[in-house]
Structure 1
């Protein structure tokens, strides 16, 4: 009893500290070649920057190079204040203005292949419209957009697409619930050489698809590419805490993962799929993903499994010998969930997703069992570190991505670990539900 009371008290104290977190403005700062040239603009849907805390995406000649968290003093000019700090933290690369193309790659840009974008959605027409507007503003010359309406209960999504986006967006209905099922429905419908997936709560940078698909043209052996995900808003304590924990971003260094040449210093490869990217910003060579059988339909949000569909896709492609490339210049802005309860649900789902995808991989590729068992001791240590409690006093700062030194409350740590224990059970329940579903809804 005393232990339970102490746990409740700790949770209450954590929530109180959480509720005291101040909002953080979101902005983009583009540094020109001239030391005095800088353009500051608010993040998607945000008001102009004023005094106070600001999370800033720093660009050089349009290319994302890093982030920073700063405080603009009362009465100070936000552009001058943030530009001075950005130039210190993110100096111009050696070689001067001509060192790289605007997309961050040396030499001449490579023509990007045709791409189909799949957006799975369920009863979120307002968010979907914002995402579709950003997809229709892409600078890629050959884009197909497919909306998959997953287990709809109203006609709102279909009516939105037909009313506002007719002839520019294809509408497909998938009656069976589940994100992986919806993605597979989209995969079957697309025509592009590359198929990209994003969520209905993102705003895509205008160059997102150009940057995300270019690696496929440069590398015929590439099976998958992922990109950078940054917060569109940090208005609530939940949004700030999630981003302070690392968010969805994987840093600003391009990386290629090749199963023929496992990366040094990553002994768990390829079973640390969370390092590769996230489902809101991923693309596959269409033929490769189809050959892999698509996503396991017993994974993903909307099923008993609750997650793991994107991680499963990454590992399946690598297990087949395909390479995966992380492309930080391919950017989408994500609208994080807004409440503490949302964070609790998210933490549990993330924990479940980690063990769901591993279970799914072993069920579908049992030959990988020896490799997984050989990595199990290190894997358990990695899982403990990933879900460890970290002090919330003093907080962390949004912007230090792909690190695990940020605040993570005890309550969320416990939920994440419970989710990891639940994951295999959830996956098996989801498989049973699929087998039991009436024909035509699978």
Structure 2
């Protein structure tokens, strides 16, 4: 049998296994002093018997996740609350509380003033999803925020009609004729009025505290250039959604962390070029002046261009390379609607690979002075990667307990399935935290298909070519637009 025939046979088998993945409910359990409170995920139905992905909160603050099960005939609230109580939950950071008045009363210590913020949502022909996102963004409790929708290369007037008829003067509408996510984000950056500019996607639902928590680090740290937050799944209804989340999804754990270029992390030999571990574009904010000072995002990167992605990673590295710190804060939560089909996963895998090498190409094209730093880090980075994958047991886990996540960043494996439901929890748990503590992410209950890994590798080979093509397409589009 030829190699091509074997690959096709393997792909058919993987798709058959993929189609057997069942749905998982999404819920929240808040461990409050007055007793636990259970609720479904954003916009979801009431919890019923079966497997459940649960966000654990403490007094409203995100603290961890676990995969539980509601037995037949059991009360969902009691069953999940009991499972949550028996799972150690680290205490989250104290909630930020902005003052109602700009000045403190006499004799009291001053409280940091909330930075003004502009929230930018880039969208293209997804008015239904956009409305859901805008409703959640307008429900934020930040006292000094405005909202901008960038309509990217629209084919219809649906987005303009939604914004102008449905939201009036509460949302500003901006049209950007040149396609590309980074181009749209740069248009939003140009329209920003706030000291901080935050970006999210049209397929999220933002937690009511999202914006307050995401902007708080800027008030506390004048040297901060960027902040990112937690992304959890809004739905786990399809095999594609469950598979992606079982391998880590977009979450970066529940441990807050500051990345400081003056003190590179010892556990990241390629810092700052491993930008995927800092956060994702669906949940990020920048000090507006800092992002403008580095020229914003590279317009030849991002979805909607031949580069396929990498615009957010480019922004993270450019800000860190300028000497500014980046803060990951899990209290800033958005719920993301993952893609739904096998074809979506194929497109996503290839796009992630392409975006990774496209952003690295963009960094070196725009900041060639960073090339020596990248080359100097490569030997240690490659040795580190080999150490994580050199010896693997039958279940794909290396001898040191690590496995490669789909985004290429190794994460601890914190558990396996029992009776079809993982009995460990998710998100980057520090060493020494008991297994089962919310925070361990990526149970990998379902095997990651080799087909998707191959597509990601192909995308990585294509990324530099895609970036150069994107630059050519952008120049042509701008000429046609008269810019």
Deviations 1:177-201 (A, max 9, x none): 0000000000001100000000000
Deviates more, 1:405-414 or 1:181-190: 405-414
Q: Does 1:87 align with 2:85?
A: yes
Where does the alignment leave 5 or more consecutive residues of structure 1 unmatched? Answer: 94-98
Tell me which of 352, 356, 363 is aligned to 1:361. Answer: 363
When the two structures are superposed, what TM-score results if normalisation uses the length of structure 1? 0.93
Counterpart of 2:458?
418
SS at match of 1:233: coil
CA contact (8 A) 1:244 1:399 kept: no
Tell me which of 277, 286, 302 is aligned to 1:275. Answer: 277
Counterpart of 1:220?
222
CA contact (8 A) 1:243 1:399 kept: no
Tell me which of 140, 151, 154 is aligned to 2:153. Answer: 151
Using the TM superposition, give the Cα deviation of residue 122 of structure 1 relative to its aligned residue in structure 2, in angstroms: 0.2
Aligned length: 433
Using the TM superposition, give the Cα deviation of residue 9 of structure 1 relative to its aligned residue in structure 2, in angstroms: 1.2
CA gap of 1:47–1:109, structure 2 versus 1, over 3 A, is farther
CA gap of 1:289–1:61, structure 2 versus 1, over 3 A, is same
Using the TM superposition, give the Cα deviation of residue 219 of structure 1 relative to its aligned residue in structure 2, in angstroms: 0.2
Counterpart of 1:25?
25
SS at match of 1:89: coil
Using the TM superposition, give the Cα deviation of residue 2 of structure 1 relative to its aligned residue in structure 2, in angstroms: 2.3
Using the TM superposition, give the Cα deviation of residue 290 of structure 1 relative to its aligned residue in structure 2, in angstroms: 0.2
Tell me which of 55, 58, 75 is aligned to 2:53. Answer: 55
Counterpart of 1:3?
3
CA gap of 1:355–1:54, structure 2 versus 1, over 3 A, is same
Q: How does 1:255-274 map to 2 (within 5 A)?
A: 255-274=257-276
CA gap of 1:396–1:83, structure 2 versus 1, over 3 A, is closer
SS at match of 1:283: strand
Counterpart of 1:96?
none
CA contact (8 A) 2:26 2:40 kept: yes
Q: How does 1:106-145 map to 2 (within 5 A)?
A: 110-145=112-147
CA gap of 1:310–1:120, structure 2 versus 1, over 3 A, is same
Q: How does 1:39-438 map to 2 (within 5 A)?
A: 39-91=37-89, 93=91, 101-103=94-96, 110-380=112-382, 382=385, 385-386=404-405, 397=422, 400-402=426-428, 406=444, 407-437=447-477, 438=479
Distance in 2, Cα, partners of 1:88 & 1:103: 28
CA contact (8 A) 2:64 2:89 kept: no
Using the TM superposition, give the Cα deviation of residue 108 of structure 1 relative to its aligned residue in structure 2, in angstroms: 9.8
Using the TM superposition, give the Cα deviation of residue 227 of structure 1 relative to its aligned residue in structure 2, in angstroms: 0.1
Distance in 1, Cα, partners of 2:41 & 2:121: 22
CA contact (8 A) 1:198 1:280 kept: yes
CA contact (8 A) 1:104 1:329 kept: no
CA contact (8 A) 1:63 1:104 kept: no
SS at match of 1:279: coil
Distance in 1, Cα, partners of 2:377 & 2:421: 31
CA contact (8 A) 2:64 2:427 kept: no
Distance in 1, Cα, partners of 2:229 & 2:97: 13
CA contact (8 A) 1:197 1:283 kept: yes
Using the TM superposition, give the Cα deviation of residue 104 of structure 1 relative to its aligned residue in structure 2, in angstroms: 10
SS at match of 2:320: helix
Task: Give the CA RMSD over aligned residues.
Answer: 2.4
CA gap of 1:257–1:441, structure 2 versus 1, over 3 A, is farther
CA gap of 1:230–1:207, structure 2 versus 1, over 3 A, is same
Distance in 2, Cα, partners of 1:274 & 1:341: 23
Distance in 2, Cα, partners of 1:40 & 1:103: 24
Distance in 2, Cα, partners of 1:69 & 1:193: 39
Counterpart of 2:436?
none
CA contact (8 A) 2:96 2:216 kept: no
Deviates more, 1:349-358 or 1:193-202: 349-358
Using the TM superposition, give the Cα deviation of residue 92 of structure 1 relative to its aligned residue in structure 2, in angstroms: 6.3
Where does the alignment leave 5 or more consecutive residues of structure 2 unmatched? Answer: 99-108, 390-403, 429-440
Distance in 2, Cα, partners of 1:223 & 1:324: 6
Using the TM superposition, give the Cα deviation of residue 88 of structure 1 relative to its aligned residue in structure 2, in angstroms: 2.0
Using the TM superposition, give the Cα deviation of residue 378 of structure 1 relative to its aligned residue in structure 2, in angstroms: 4.4
CA gap of 1:211–1:109, structure 2 versus 1, over 3 A, is farther
SS at match of 2:151: strand
SS at match of 1:325: strand
Deviations 1:3-48 (A, max 9, x none): 22211111111111111111000011100125xx011000012100
When the two structures are superposed, what TM-score results if normalisation uses the length of structure 2? 0.85
CA gap of 1:46–1:318, structure 2 versus 1, over 3 A, is same
